[in-house]
Amino acid sequence: MSVFYGKYDTNYMMADPPPYSELRDERCPISPGKSKQQTIYVQGPPIIIQIFRDTPVRIQCQYCQAEVFTATHHENGAVTWLACLGIMLVLPLGCCLIPFFIDGTKDVVHTCPNCYQEVGKWSRL
């Protein structure tokens, strides 16, 4: 009957040490005996974050792929209605319609002048 005492076992101590390559951790990517791993970095197209504001911006249209300056027009938005309600509480009746004639209270919609698709929207809120 033999008792194994782990690494202090005399039989183990007497035996020749295992080759260096077997001592290395298999998970280690640089262990000898394994083929060299090569890391390949693939660079995709640059990511352009387009921020739409109240002025036309230069974009590549996502629909027709043309590089254009956007056409803009204004639509009533949340600020328009909030201004309307605020004026309604303070000023005489009828004045609450003023925000609907002021572009500065409206949202801005950007469209492609080539294909007329909506490519972006800027909300003032």
List residues near Zn ion by CB under 5 A: 61, 63-64, 112, 114-115
Select 57 or 87, whichever has its Cβ closest to Zn ion. Answer: 57
Q: How far is the CB of 71 from Zn ion (least distance, A)?
A: 10
Q: Which is nearer to Zn ion, 63 or 100 (CB)?
A: 63
* Contacts of residue 116, Cβ cutoff 8 Å, sequence gap at least 6: none
Radius of gyration of the chain (CA): 35
* Least distance CB 67 / Zn ion (angstroms): 10
* Closer residue to Zn ion, CB minimum distance, 108 or 112: 112
In the complex, the smallest distance separating the C-beta of residue 65 from Zn ion, rounded to whole angstroms, is 7
